[in-house]
Chains A and B, each alone.
Chain A
Amino acid sequence: MIKENPLPKKIKRQNSSLILENVSISYQQNLAVRNVFLKIPKKRVTALIGPSGCGKSTVLRSINRMNDLIVGCSLKGRVLFEGTDIYSPKIDPVEVRRRIGMVFQQPNPFPKSIYENIAFGAKINGFNGDMDFLVEESLRKAAVWEECKDKLNESGYSLSGGQQQRLCIARTIAVKPDVILMDEPCSALDPISTLKIEETIHELKKNFTIIIVTHNMQQALRVSDYTAFFNAEKDEDNMGGKVGYLVEFNLTKEIFNSPVQALTKDYVTGKFG
């Protein structure tokens, strides 16, 4: 089995927003993901796919230092964001999260009004422009303006699940990050809401670098330009626990049409996972 990661040569350093260099992540003593090399291109959509438990969320959360919130989670290697190692001790994780926003699997609006949901992030990030305009702009970009415009002062929970998720996307956009991370943003949603969110993602990639974790192969094919396929295997050094690793990273159409690794082929054709 070939263990080296074939990197798409086409992505130049300057064109990449994020570079993962030999990243390994552990929870307490247990290695969860090992030796990931990735170059995430700017203003493109990159999908992370792979079977459950292979560490997609773990990798995603390491990109904006969300893993800092989990006691005992540690990272080796380097994560470069526009050339800066975000794990260097000089870095302020709060600033990192301002530049790299996150949308979660479960819609999680704040228990505040729709308007406040959007305005909160902008306010704490020192925004002092026209708030009404920003709220409308963000909701429009996330394609929920029509549903929200008449009830901006109602609770975020008064929306449907799909609308809530788009509200969460709008909330992330309002902070004006460079990168948006999405962890299975559609897994709790019905097909129609899913389609709406996918359309939103298409819109967003004009301005943002997007990384999306998905279980849905069709979705990866529909929304992403690049795809990274992860897998997990038994690791003897790790007390027999499973460790995730990157199998293959390439243009999405390459991954689905002519994958290099046999494992990738098996996965995208549905033979396992």
Chain B
Amino acid sequence: MKDRVQLLHTAKQLNYKTFSRKNILEKLQTAIAFCLLIISIIPITFILVYVLIKGGTQLSIDIITQLPEPPGDDLLSAGGIGNSIIGTIIVTTIASVISVPIGIGGGIYLAEYSSGGLFSRFIRFGTNVLAGVPSIIAGVFIYGIIVSTKLIYGSNYSALAGSLALSILMLPTIIKTTDEGLKLVSDDLRRGALGIGASKFITITRITLPAAFSTIATGILLSVARAAGETAPLIFTALFSFYWPQGNEILLEPIASLSVLIYNFALEPYEAQNELAWAASFILVMMLLALNIIARRIGKLTMDNKSN
């Protein structure tokens, strides 16, 4: 009899009590967290939907291949974004050409040559600091030393100036990923190569760099994607242009870009220009997503290789 009572007692204690303070609190907290989670994915959902619908639906051969029309000229059409697409590609490519070699070089120095002394600590610190510099500041800096002084062959606003501003933003990311990618390469590999008499330079270029290739490539692609979407550093360096980039001084003239087009045309009071800004957003977002996906693919590749 006593045992029976004891048994029932235990069962009661262990039962899930839906209305106990503890369990209601648990449920409540989970519900609140769930609501916050939903809130956090609402914006991106709507942003994607709008970019896809408002931008995607307007897409046509004309829009991709034509030049933009200055606001107010034609109330029905704002032309196309052909030169902006090419401009974005040119400016980002030049920025990469400038920042990738310097960034990889700097990363190699930090990971392979520096002895962890004061100088390399300072450079690592500086890299972090530079990564936190607001992008508009890079624009101000390049404007001040290149555009306003007409430093480069007397030209002021130019594609080159825009590229330089972007490269300042790309540099820290590339240095960091190179540094970190190389540090992940096992020391055995290095010792193996050095052990068979390879010089340090050969070891790095033939062994360590290839081993860290995909980490570095991922980092570079992500920084390219970020640069291609930047606007602030371009608005008073590369400026904008309503014409195709042409002639042999392309880099010394102002150049159009998707992001600056979106900025300029979004603020125009004309609907046609606003619509074109949406179309440009669609193209820009697609380009960046493609870059991101490729970057992640490459990143995944290494993980798979390493686990094999």
* Residues of A bordering B, CB below 8 Å: 14, 81-84, 86, 90-92, 94-96, 99
Could you show 11 A-B contacts with beta carbons less than 8 Å apart?
A: A82-B7, A83-B7, A84-B7, A84-B14, A90-B15, A91-B14, A91-B15, A92-B15, A92-B16, A94-B22, A95-B13
CB neighbours of A83 from chain B (8 A): 7, 10-11
**Which residue from chain B places its CB closest to the CB of A84 in the assembled complex?**
B11
B14 touching A95, Cβ below 8 Å: yes
Q: How far is the CA of A90 from the CA of B14 in the complex (A)?
A: 8
* B6 interface hit (Cβ, 8 Å): yes
A99 touching B14, Cβ below 8 Å: yes
CB neighbours of A92 from chain B (8 A): 14-17, 23
CB neighbours of A81 from chain B (8 A): 10, 14
| Distance from A43 Cβ to chain B, minimum over Cβ atoms (Å) | 14
- Contacting B16 at CB < 8 Å: which of A14, A82, A84, A90? A90
CB neighbours of B17 from chain A (8 A): 92
Q: How far is the CA of A2 from the CA of B257 in the complex (A)?
A: 79
* B3 interface hit (Cβ, 8 Å): yes
| Distance from A228 Cβ to chain B, minimum over Cβ atoms (Å) | 23
Interface string of B22-52 (1 = CB under 8 A from A): 1100000000000000000000000000000
Q: How far is the CA of A99 from the CA of B13 in the complex (A)?
A: 10
CB neighbours of A91 from chain B (8 A): 14-16
**Which residue from chain A places its CB closest to the CB of B16 in the assembled complex?**
A92
Binding site secondary structure of chain B: helix
The count of chain B contact residues (Cβ–Cβ below 8 Å) is: 12
| Distance from B59 Cβ to chain A, minimum over Cβ atoms (Å) | 43
Q: How far is the CA of A90 from the CA of B22 in the complex (A)?
A: 16
CB neighbours of A14 from chain B (8 A): 3
CB neighbours of B7 from chain A (8 A): 82-84
Residue of B14, B16, B17, B23 with most partner-chain A CB within 10 A: B14
| Distance from A33 Cβ to chain B, minimum over Cβ atoms (Å) | 23
**Which residue from chain A places its CB closest to the CB of B21 in the assembled complex?**
A126
- Contacting A82 at CB < 8 Å: which of B10, B15, B22, B23? B10
| Distance from B259 Cβ to chain A, minimum over Cβ atoms (Å) | 42
| Distance from A119 Cβ to chain B, minimum over Cβ atoms (Å) | 18
Contacts beyond the supplied A81-B10, A91-B16, A95-B16: 7 A-B pairs with Cβ under 8 Å: A14-B3, A83-B10, A84-B14, A90-B16, A91-B15, A92-B15, A92-B17
| Distance from A42 Cβ to chain B, minimum over Cβ atoms (Å) | 11
Q: How far is the CA of A144 from the CA of B6 in the complex (A)?
A: 33
Q: How far is the CA of A92 from the CA of B15 in the complex (A)?
A: 6
CB neighbours of A94 from chain B (8 A): 22
Q: How far is the CA of A152 from the CA of B14 in the complex (A)?
A: 33
Q: How far is the CA of A86 from the CA of B3 in the complex (A)?
A: 18
Q: How far is the CA of A92 from the CA of B12 in the complex (A)?
A: 10
CB neighbours of B13 from chain A (8 A): 95, 99
**Which residue from chain A places its CB closest to the CB of B12 in the assembled complex?**
A84
CB neighbours of B15 from chain A (8 A): 90-92, 95
Q: How far is the CA of A86 from the CA of B6 in the complex (A)?
A: 16
CB neighbours of B3 from chain A (8 A): 14
Q: How far is the CA of A273 from the CA of B109 in the complex (A)?
A: 51
**Which residue from chain B places its CB closest to the CB of A86 in the assembled complex?**
B14
Q: How far is the CA of A83 from the CA of B11 in the complex (A)?
A: 8
**Which residue from chain B places its CB closest to the CB of A13 in the assembled complex?**
B3
CB neighbours of B10 from chain A (8 A): 81-84, 99
**Which residue from chain B places its CB closest to the CB of A83 in the assembled complex?**
B7
Q: How far is the CA of A14 from the CA of B4 in the complex (A)?
A: 10
Q: How far is the CA of A113 from the CA of B10 in the complex (A)?
A: 33
| Distance from A12 Cβ to chain B, minimum over Cβ atoms (Å) | 11
Q: How far is the CA of A78 from the CA of B23 in the complex (A)?
A: 25
Q: How far is the CA of A96 from the CA of B11 in the complex (A)?
A: 10
| Distance from B179 Cβ to chain A, minimum over Cβ atoms (Å) | 31
> Which 9 pairs from chain A and chain B are nearest by CB?
A92-B16, A83-B7, A82-B10, A84-B11, A95-B14, A91-B14, A90-B15, A84-B10, A84-B14
Q: How far is the CA of A86 from the CA of B14 in the complex (A)?
A: 8
**Which residue from chain A places its CB closest to the CB of B18 in the assembled complex?**
A92
CB neighbours of B14 from chain A (8 A): 81, 84, 86, 91-92, 95-96, 99
| Distance from B60 Cβ to chain A, minimum over Cβ atoms (Å) | 48
CB neighbours of A84 from chain B (8 A): 7, 10-11, 14
Q: How far is the CA of A159 from the CA of B10 in the complex (A)?
A: 37
